[in-house]
């Protein structure tokens, strides 16, 4: 018989959705009476929340599991759980690789774990857990609104691990946001693998713009963000909601993944370079002060030098606020893994990524210089290297070190005096804007 579980530690790697999953699980464990431990060696329950979107992430997870298994030899009563995107519908291979792991939990499906803990500790699960809202959220918090994905991009393992898309109801989401605001949150980010597809699977005929309108009405909330969007679902209605709703920030993450139509077709991305360009033009015409970031994969199977130059050109032309670049990583089980040869040498992938990053650095440096002399409303998140830092509505990182009073969790006006490719710096001119 397993000993009572009194404490827990959660280790997380991967995207914002993984972070949100870990926070929800932590909230449930707190409500079950478990104590959070910063050191995994001191915890009765250790949860490793995994990511396998790229090989580098999977390697880090495997290393972490190996370390945890070694420690468990000296503490066999510790419960070790592997959670997240490494865990698919079938866990037999994982059980063979990691024999010391006690339970394998699929993304967002932690009910079996909670039930086992409640049974071990002789608790009524339903009676203990009132909601999954993050217990100690801070000033900014992620709120998942749609899980899974109905797109089957050839490079992506997510649909195989998180399943097809399922939207939460507006009422459920607004309730969670209200709880978080009551706990001190001023900014929320609505999350989804395809966030702008929200509501398409619901009976109520609602979409992301309707949800934004309802969340905008939550008293005490200052800012709303959302990610990650898909070009196929970014409608005019959603774009106008960004313009018209005062709490919705003027920033959109809109992955293109590649600038070549040939590569996009191989990726099973259902749009063209021209469609993406026209969409960005529409967004900027409707919301003139918007910033747009994107995701790009270099070295996809069959990507020629000409294909790559198409990607470089769209980066140059679009003048993105940020580019999240990645080298293609073969993911077993995906369509690309089954049907396409990973034929681009590692060194070529690396060089192409460096070229994208160098170009984007120049673009960001030039564009950030244009902010000097301007005044930005910044939500202060914390302190780093003797400076307060936070983000403006366009998702720019802003530092200020000219004010010694405690600015944490406040919205202040900052006059920008200097810039770098990655951030802005200035002095506080007004406080307590929120």
CATH 3.40.50.12160 in the chain: give the residue spans: 7-128
So what CATH class is 375-430? mainly beta
pLDDT per residue as tens digits for the range 325-336:
999 999 988 999
Q: Average pLDDT for residues 133-143, to the nearest whole number?
A: 88
Q: Average pLDDT for residues 128-142, to the nearest whole number?
A: 84
**Through-space distance between the first and last CA atoms of the chain, rounded to whole angstroms:** 53
pLDDT of residue 137: 84
pLDDT of residue 126: 74
What is the C-alpha to C-alpha distance for residues 18 and 14, in angstroms, rounded to an integer? 6
pLDDT of residue 2: 64
Say if CB 83 and CB 111 are below 8 A apart: no
pLDDT of residue 143: 96
pLDDT of residue 263: 98
What is the C-alpha to C-alpha distance for residues 54 and 64, in angstroms, rounded to an integer? 16
CATH 2.40.50.140 in the chain: give the residue spans: 375-430
pLDDT of residue 434: 67
Q: Which fold has domain 7-128?
A: Rossmann fold (3.40.50)
Give Cα separations from 1 to 5, 59, 112 (angstroms).
Answer: 12, 33, 18
Of residues 189 and 53, the one with the higher pLDDT is 189
pLDDT of residue 90: 66
Query: What contacts 24+ positions apart, CB below 8 Å, involve 86-91?
Result: 86/50, 86/51, 86/52, 86/58, 86/61, 86/161, 87/50, 87/161, 88/160, 88/161, 88/333
Q: Average pLDDT for residues 204-208, to the nearest whole number?
A: 92
Q: pTM for this one?
A: 0.92
What share of the chain has pLDDT > 90, as a percent?
A: 77
What is the C-alpha to C-alpha distance for residues 266 and 198, in angstroms, rounded to an integer? 26
Domain 140-369 homologous superfamily, CATH: tm_1862 like domain (3.80.30.20)
pLDDT of residue 299: 98
Name the average pLDDT for the chain: 93
Does residue 60 surpass a pLDDT of 60?
yes
Q: Average pLDDT for residues 169-186, to the nearest whole number?
A: 95
pLDDT per residue as tens digits for the range 362-399:
999 999 999 999 999 999 999 988 899 999 999 999 99
pLDDT per residue as tens digits for the range 75-116:
889 999 999 999 977 677 888 999 999 999 988 888 899 999
Q: Which pLDDT band, with edges at 50, 70 and 90, does 135 fall under?
A: confident
What is the C-alpha to C-alpha distance for residues 330 and 336, in angstroms, rounded to an integer? 8
Q: Average pLDDT for residues 195-224, to the nearest whole number?
A: 95
Tokens of 234: 């970014």
CATH 3.80.30.20 in the chain: give the residue spans: 140-369
């Amino acid at each position: 018989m397993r000993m009572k579980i009194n404490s827990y530690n959660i280790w997380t790697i991967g995207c914002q959705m993984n972070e949100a999953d870990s926070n929800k699980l932590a909230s449930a464990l707190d409500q079950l009476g478990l104590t959070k431990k910063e050191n995994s060696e001191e915890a009765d329950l250790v949860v490793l929340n995994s990511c396998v979107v790229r090989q580098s992430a999977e390697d880090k997870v495997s290393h972490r599991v190996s370390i945890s298994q070694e420690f468990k030899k000296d503490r066999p009563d510790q419960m070790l759980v592997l959670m997240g995107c490494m865990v698919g519908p079938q866990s037999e291979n994982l059980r063979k690789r990691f024999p010391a792991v006690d339970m394998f939990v699929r993304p967002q499906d932690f009910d079996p774990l909670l039930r086992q803990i409640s049974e071990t500790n002789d608790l009524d699960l339903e009676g203990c857990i009132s909601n999954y809202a993050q217990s100690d959220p801070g000033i900014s918090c992620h709120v998942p609104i749609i899980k899974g994905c109905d797109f089957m991009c050839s490079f992506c393992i997510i649909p195989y691990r998180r399943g097809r898309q399922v939207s939460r109801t507006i009422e459920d989401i607004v309730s969670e946001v209200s709880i978080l605001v009551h706990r001190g949150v001023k900014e929320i980010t609505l999350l989804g693998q395809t966030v702008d597809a929200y509501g398409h699977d619901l009976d109520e005929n609602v979409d992301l713009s309707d949800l934004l309108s309802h969340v905008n009405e939550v008293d005490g909330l200052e800012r709303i963000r959302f990610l990650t969007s898909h070009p196929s679902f970014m409608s005019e209605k959603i774009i106008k909601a960004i313009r018209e709703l005062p709490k919705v920030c003027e920033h959109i993450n809109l992955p293109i993944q590649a600038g070549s139509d040939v590569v996009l077709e191989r990726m099973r991305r259902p749009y063209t370079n021209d469609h993406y360009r026209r969409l960005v033009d529409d967004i900027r015409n409707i919301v003139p002060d918007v910033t747009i970031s994107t995701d790009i994969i270099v070295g996809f199977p069959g990507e020629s030098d000409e294909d790559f130059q198409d990607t470089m050109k769209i980066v140059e032309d679009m003048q993105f606020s940020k580019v999240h670049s990645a080298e293609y990583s073969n993911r077993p089980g995906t369509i690309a893994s089954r049907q396409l040869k990973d034929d681009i040498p590692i060194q070529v992938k690396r060089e192409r990524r460096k070229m994208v990053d160098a170009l984007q650095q120049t673009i960001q440096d030039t564009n950030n210089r244009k902010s000097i002399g301007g005044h930005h409303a910044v939500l202060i998140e914390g302190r780093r290297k003797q400076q307060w830092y936070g983000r403006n509505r366009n998702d720019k990182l802003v530092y200020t070190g000219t004010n010694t009073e405690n600015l944490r969790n406040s919205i202040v006006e900052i006059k920008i005096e200097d810039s770098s490719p990655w951030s802005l710096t200035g002095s506080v001119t007004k406080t307590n804007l929120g």
